[in-house]
A and B are shown apart, each in its own frame.
Chain A
Amino acid sequence: MSKQPGSGFSRRGFLKGVGITSVAGGLISPAGLTSAIAAEGDVKGPGETPITLDVNGQKRKLNVEPRVTLLDALRNRLDLTGPKKVCDRGTCGACTVIVDGKPVYSCSMLAVEAEGREVTTIEGIGTPQRMNEVQRAFVKHDAQQCGFCTPGFVTAATAFVRANPKASIEQVRAGLGGNLCRCGTYAGMILAVVDAAKGGSNA
């Protein structure tokens, strides 16, 4: 990758971070809360706060406000645009990433909550030159039409196949239950994932 927009500390993010920190230090309750505030060091935000994400095997440092979702951090800060922003409310699966081995809707996880966890996006699963078993099976079974849901499906299927080798067609159907395809390419995708679950021997 030639450039990494948003990674590291941008000047703007750094200045904003400093500003918020000094305000927090000067006031007991920046948010005007009625309850007592515990040790200040434990509370981050509401401005940008530095975090380190472990994405596709790389440690990536960035500054985010606590309200930024993992999906927005990946797409807008780390230039990983494979996970797609479609429904943005955990009902379509296009944003699926793998967190500590489990499929997760990255639109429904805050980026600050992903600290200390291993995140894998479609970019970390395979490349056109080196596809994983699910990607090869998708090509073989022509398991996409418009392709917009495909990264989410491949990511969810990859997590599923690793946890459920030799899965039956019914298990595959349930395993893909968290993703939607508006083109309706389910038949091809289910065949592809059954194939990949067998070890991709025919892929």
Chain B
Amino acid sequence: MKAFEYSAPKSLKDATALLSSSWGETEILAGGTDLVTSLKQGIAAPKRVVSLRNIRELRGVDNSRQGLRIGAMTTLEEIAQNKQIKEAYPAIVTAISSIGSPQIISVGTIGGDLCQRPRCWYFRNGFGLLGRQGETSLVRTGDNRYHAIFGTDGPALFVSPSSLGPPLIALGATITAVGPDGKKRDIPAGQFFQAPKSESERETALKSNEILTAITIPSAGGRSLANATYEVRHRHGLDWPYVTASVAFQRENGVARKPQLVLGHVAPVPWVSAKAAQALEGGKLDEATAKRCGDLAAEGAKPLSGNAYKIQLVKTAVKRAVLAAAA
């Protein structure tokens, strides 16, 4: 690990002032579960690390006029144990408890979950976000069992590692960031993630000197919002899932309205399946509908040489997520 400066300022203003306007020079430290490992692996080699641990306004869950506001430094454990979230958002609680390691959720934060770097083994071993050696895509020519099956026409073939991205997009959340000028910027969760087209681009809409401050889940306006996440995993701890599906819809007279369906670990971004979600609109919430939704969600997949197995997992994860939300 290369040596770096460290600062843990008390205010957002001081923190953003300490951040560089170009990527790579500075890094933001939240829970550290990803960054500290990335520093050891040389994936990150900043001159300065800016810790957010002393900025009080970044912690906690509150009800605001816009909905439920979760501070970016709130730990995953605090979120999973929050009474209101437990009652209203099982899609989030399942995604957190599936991480399976008390040591990670005790310090890992919601902001860190959204900003963590991909787990792609080519990226982690120094071949960049696109996993290339010269003109050759190591992902396409090598072992790609855990890589993308959607969006594979583009150059980025890793999968978004975020556990909470898919449920937050399904729930219509907004992500707030603050830049060095102190201006707040609201980004719809669905536009927060982006697939980089070159090595100079990143996986989120954030700039290098912006700090993610909060996530707001809009209130359902008194309606009951059914939601669920289903994860297909090899191991139930200390590992990443193969495929996840998060679904949310308003329930009116036994049918689904305004359904949202988002897949995880299948593309460089959480993958929104708008067409599959439409299959739920107004339909009867039974196994046949759930299966049709799963089949539609798998349409358009273009797997790589070694991960076509994920197509069946998409169908299963979606079906089970829909049935769990409907139950």
Q: A residues engaging B (CB < 8 A)?
A: 30-39, 42-47, 49, 65-67, 69, 88-93, 96, 99, 102-105, 107-110, 112-113, 156, 159-160, 174-175, 177-178, 180
Contacts and interface: CB of A to CB of B under 8 A. Distances in A.
Query: Interface centre among B9, B19, B29, B36, by most A CB within 10 Å?
Result: B36
Contact of A174 (B19, B26, B100, B107): B100
A42 B9 contact: yes
Given A45-B4, A102-B107, A103-B102, A38 B39 contact: no
Given A91-B238, A113-B29, A107 B36 contact: yes
A104 B18 contact: no
Given A35-B26, A66-B5, A90-B33, A104 B49 contact: no
Nearest to A66: B6
B106 A43 contact: no
Nearest to A100: B106
Given A109-B32, A178-B238, A90 B49 contact: no
Contacts of B7: 38, 42-44
B49 A66 contact: yes
A110 B48 contact: no
B33 A108 contact: yes
A102 B238 contact: no
Nearest to A96: B103
Contact of B106 (A45, A93, A103, A113): A103
B47 A178 contact: no
A46 B8 CA distance: 14
Nearest to A98: B106
B17 A35 contact: yes
A178 B237 contact: yes
A140 to B, nearest CB: 23
Interface string B79-104: 00000000000000000010011111
Given A38-B17, A103-B103, A178-B100, 5 more contacts: A38-B7, A45-B5, A65-B3, A67-B4, A107-B36
Would you call the interface of chain A mostly helix, strand, loop, or mixed?
A: loop
Contact of A35 (B8, B100, B107, B209): B209
Interface of B: 1-9, 14, 17-22, 25-26, 29, 32-33, 36-37, 39-41, 47-49, 51, 53, 77, 97, 100-104, 106-107, 180, 209, 236-238
Contacts of A47: 3
B104 A33 contact: no
A96 B101 CA distance: 11
Contacts, number: 143
Contacts of A103: 102-103, 106
Given A35-B26, A177-B101, A178-B104, A43 B6 contact: yes
Nearest to B239: A91
B32 A108 contact: yes
Contact of A88 (B3, B40, B51, B53): B40
Nearest to B22: A34
Contacts of B8: 42, 112-113
B102 A160 contact: yes
7 contacts: A31-B47, A35-B25, A89-B37, A90-B37, A109-B36, A113-B29, A174-B102
A19 to B, nearest CB: 13
B3 A46 contact: yes
A201 B179 CA distance: 56
Contacts of A112: 6, 8, 51
The 5 closest A-B pairs by CB, nearest first: A177-B237, A66-B6, A178-B101, A31-B47, A46-B3
Contact of A45 (B6, B22, B102): B6
